[in-house]
Structure 1
């Protein structure tokens, strides 16, 4: 039986895809991954290549053709390189096709890709997300010093974005860092915050560490 109430709207070919998981019939125009249907597996896909217009469209088209649904994504331009990471879900047959065929199909677009199976992320009631912001003159080693601080205290870094840019008027090279970290919900979070700001004062960098607004 179909796993969601789409039967009245599907062609016979699309029904066969939904019931058997066979995505080989391209003419159905349906990926088998409607939001109401159960997604059995998840994959993380990373891809990179020379930047040019149309890459995101080509990548998303391949994911769709293989029966996947993009749940989350991050994209960036680093130098002249395009880089993207995707969280894709789908039924077992679709994900098997993705693991088998995706890299080869994306190579035709000039992208180097890696596919890795993953699982649902486990939530925790013991931590709370905090946003870290750092701003300073561009100097070697800032990312290492900041991340070393949190690693030494067993704090997980959930996301990290950094960039350099010239300061207005003076053109001085500046460095900006933003992170989301998961701090304990107990009283130790206040101590970690105080120690982090003390470190930043010692390094002569401006910083903040505040709870993420829900």
Structure 2
């Protein structure tokens, strides 16, 4: 006899939705309405405009039948030629109490490969990148091409933080990057 949770349990029914569209056609409001109209809740949302396009990523949660209703509503939205939409069912993330959240900020003269070297540094140490935002811009006074990144990482609790910070700052000094690594303060 299968003792799994009932099909309408909200904790196990999540739908991850990703759209790409021209910025002037960003479907955030139509998506939010479809999520609410289907009986689901918006559990998480990310919107980012890059260039002339906008990416919307949403996590909807609800009962099994509400998520199924939302999937049908998304199929109708997907008929719009200007909106690319992908969605799939997912499960809640397991708690990661063994990871310590830290924020890394980097600013430097823009050069190819900076972000790769930073990500590689953390990857070699089994440190997860939880969120990342980076951009190029021109310095106001000089017009120099600049690079900026904000990265939220998850550091395993057994990691010696001072040694990690020293190694990271040494990497940044060698690459001529201005950087900080501080605990996330909620």
Per-residue Cα deviation, 1:166-202 (whole angstroms, up to 9, x for no partner): 1012111111000111112235222221111100000
Distance 1:174 1:101 in 2: 42
Higher relative contact order (CA 8 A, sep 6+): 2
Distance 1:197 1:54, change over 3 A: closer
- What RMSD in Å do the two structures reach over aligned CA positions? 2.0
> Which of the residues 154, 166, 172 maps onto 1:194?
166
Instruction: Give how far 1:63 is off.
Output: 2.3
Bigger radius of gyration among the two: 1
Distance 1:145 1:190 in 2: 20
**Structure 1 residues 83-102: aligned runs within 5 Å:** 83-102=55-74
Matched, 1:44 2:16: yes
- Structure 1 unaligned regions, length at least 5: 1-20, 22-36
Distance 2:75 2:136 in 1: 32
Matched, 1:184 2:156: yes
Contact 2:10-2:64 within 8 A present in 1 as well: no
**Normalised by the size of structure 1, how large is the TM-score?**
0.77
Aligned counterpart, 1:65 = 37
Q: Aligned pair count?
A: 179
Instruction: Give how far 1:154 is off.
Output: 0.5
Matched, 1:121 2:86: no
Distance 1:125 1:208 in 2: 23
- Structure 2 unaligned regions, length at least 5: 1-7
**Normalised by the size of structure 2, how large is the TM-score?**
0.87
Distance 1:174 1:187 in 2: 32
Aligned counterpart, 1:82 = 54
Tell me which protein shows more strand as a share of its residues. 2
